[in-house]
Structure 1
Amino acid sequence: MLDHILGPLVPVAFVIVLGFIAGKRGKLNYSDSLLISKLVLNWIFPALLPAGMAGTPRSQLLDVRFVVATFIAIMGMYALAFATGWYRYRELKAATLKGFVCGYPDGAFMGIPILQAMFGPSSLYAVLVLNLIASLVMIPLTTMLLAIASGEGGGAKACVSSISAAVRRPLMWAPAIGILCSLLAVKLPPVLNDSLNLLCALPSATIPAMFANEAGAYRSEAATSILASTVLSVITFSFAIYLIDGGLAAA
């Protein structure tokens, strides 16, 4: 059991530590980390999604209980952290940022290498659900609340602008193509499938981005509250999904 847990986590932690060291020694700067992250998020990760979603069983795509459980767990964590931040600081901006730090699922960077190592290719759908909820609900909500807190224009306008920007990204429409192919039982041409797999294996869909993120973020001192929020989200998020999904399954 311990090997099953540590097996996927130790390699990811190793890459994160290397990225931290590279940034601390000046081997990569902030601009380099942004470039690598853009490569992964705009090209490599979207290339992974169409083929992965096209091969996902239709029954898994139509599993509403999983989507609902994930939504409640993520947004519930967001709401709980927001309420805690509001109770402590009585300030909208601080409460919103605390909710975002605790609730945001880093599925694009951490989800793929960890979940695929533990559960195989079928876990890609879970990463997609996490990304959709974060991009279409959590980020627009956070943008709206921050706009209200800063007094810069209306919150609704900021929310609509965030959603509009999200749906234009490859991370949104690329999986939609794969899901449509799965629902219509359309097989991707082998040449196209091999081409996408080659692109998303350069060398791993998200490892370079994790490396770059740590290289670009090493300069920031992690406050105690941020570390506590991170630990809270790691421990309680998985437990919440387990309990909620179990309750929905029983129902």
Structure 2
Amino acid sequence: MSNAIPLALAPVFFVMALGYGAGWFGIVNKDQVNGLNALVMDFALPASLFVATASTRRSEMLEQAPLFAIFGAVMLILYFLWYVLVRSSSDTNPTDASLQAVTIAFPNLAGVGLPMVSAVLGPTGAVPVAVALAAGSILVTPLTLIVVEMNGQTGSNPDETPKIRIARALRRALTKPVVLGPALGILFSLSGLTFGPVTKACLQLIGHAAAGVSLFLTGLILAGQSFRLDWKVVGATGMADVLRPLLTAAIVSVLPIPAEVAKMAILLAAVPSGFFGILFAVNYRLDSATEGSMVIASTGFSVVTMAIAIAVLFGH
């Protein structure tokens, strides 16, 4: 175990540091960041998650159903908890509150979770990561986009009815490749279908880029964010890095689920805050400074929390 933790975490933060340095010294500019984001979110990651889920036997996929339900429930609880807290204790508007909430609730499964779990469990770790990512993409992401759309921050027609705005937000969320990839892969697996080795090899080739480029992209995004420390950043870090895994552990301890699923749910819950809130803010031309500070603080503190989670869960 003394070697397992460095092997799992050192490559993750090394590649992230490379991306941060590339952004900090201007080696990679903003236009290139957008291109890398498209590569990861629209091509590499969807392909990787589709292959991981679609290649899983139907019986094994059904075993992941508790993970989907538990992880989805934890994310929704934290989302609403932070949204209500920040709305009731400050003058934060609904749009900013929702972007902060998705940052805290939806961990960085693509950039940190996938390479870390792969280091701990090997290639089989991609399946639970894909299932957890599907849960967040299907449940939390559309909810955030609906709040943003409904509060008129998108330049949409003010005469549009709420139903039209909600429908547009759902369509945008559910048609993103990073959502469709794992969702279609799960359906493919449950249908009992299989695809040939040529198709699998084609998708795997682009999918292999997902983990490394996602980490590099995470570092680039963090390098472009200004850091400011306030009670929101401190509270968000505690909620994401400490409360999320503890809440998950409390839930799995009272449910009759396999120990492997319980361990995976807790480990994935220990992953730091994700950058979906930053990406949404950039896409809608909103200030992302608070979300960026939350991600920076959560990622730095997660060195400790993820090491503890790995040691406790896989110490044997």
Residue 173 of structure 2 aligns with which residue? 166
Closer/same/farther in 2, CA of residues 5 and 86 from structure 1, 3 Å limit: farther
| 1:103-182 superposed matches below 5 A | 103-150=105-152, 156-182=163-189
Structure 1 counterpart SS, 2:193: coil
TM-score normalized by the length of structure 1 = 0.85
Measure the CA separation in 2 of the matches of 1:108 and 1:98.
18
RMSD of the TM alignment (CA)? 2.5
Measure the CA separation in 1 of the matches of 2:11 and 2:145.
34
Residue 246 of structure 1 aligns with which residue? 253
Given that 1:107 and 1:127 are in contact with CA atoms closer than 8 Å, whether structure 2 keeps it comes out as yes
User: Amino acid of the residue matched to residue 26 of structure 1?
Assistant: G
Residue 58 of structure 1 aligns with which residue? 58
Gaps of 5+ in 2: 258-316
Gaps of 5+ in 1: none
Closer/same/farther in 2, CA of residues 195 and 97 from structure 1, 3 Å limit: closer
2:196 to 189, 199, 223: 189
Which structure exhibits the higher relative contact order, with contacts defined as CA atoms closer than 8 Å and separated by 6 or more residues?
1
Measure the CA separation in 2 of the matches of 1:167 and 1:148.
17
User: Amino acid of the residue matched to residue 241 of structure 2?
Assistant: V
Deviations 1:56-105 (A, max 9, x none): 23233224322221111111111221122123214443432332221122
For these two proteins, the number of residue pairs brought into alignment is 248
Q: Does residue 1:205 correspond to 2:210, yes or no?
A: yes
More off after superposition, 227-236 vs 25-34? 227-236
Given that 1:32 and 1:212 are in contact with CA atoms closer than 8 Å, whether structure 2 keeps it comes out as no
Closer/same/farther in 2, CA of residues 5 and 240 from structure 1, 3 Å limit: farther
Deviations 1:85-136 (A, max 9, x none): 1232144434323322211222222221111112233332322233223222
- CA drift of 1:13 comes to 0.9
| 1:93-112 superposed matches below 5 A | 93=94, 94-112=96-114
Structure 2 counterpart SS, 1:220: coil
Measure the CA separation in 2 of the matches of 1:182 and 1:150.
39
Measure the CA separation in 2 of the matches of 1:139 and 1:166.
7
- CA drift of 1:22 comes to 1.0
Measure the CA separation in 2 of the matches of 1:145 and 1:79.
12
Deviations 1:116-171 (A, max 9, x none): 11223333232223322322221222223234445766555433222212332333
More off after superposition, 141-150 vs 103-112? 141-150
User: Amino acid of the residue matched to residue 68 of structure 1?
Assistant: A
More off after superposition, 211-220 vs 235-244? 211-220
Residue 285 of structure 2 aligns with which residue? none
Residue 89 of structure 1 aligns with which residue? 90
Closer/same/farther in 2, CA of residues 232 and 70 from structure 1, 3 Å limit: same
Given that 2:58 and 2:191 are in contact with CA atoms closer than 8 Å, whether structure 1 keeps it comes out as no
User: Amino acid of the residue matched to residue 166 of structure 2?
Assistant: C
Measure the CA separation in 1 of the matches of 2:206 and 2:194.
19
Closer/same/farther in 2, CA of residues 207 and 157 from structure 1, 3 Å limit: farther
Residue 233 of structure 1 aligns with which residue? 240
User: Amino acid of the residue matched to residue 226 of structure 2?
Assistant: E
Closer/same/farther in 2, CA of residues 188 and 213 from structure 1, 3 Å limit: same
Closer/same/farther in 2, CA of residues 24 and 125 from structure 1, 3 Å limit: same
- CA drift of 1:186 comes to 3.0
Structure 2 counterpart SS, 1:206: helix
More off after superposition, 35-44 vs 215-224? 215-224
- CA drift of 1:35 comes to 0.3
User: Amino acid of the residue matched to residue 57 of structure 2?
Assistant: P
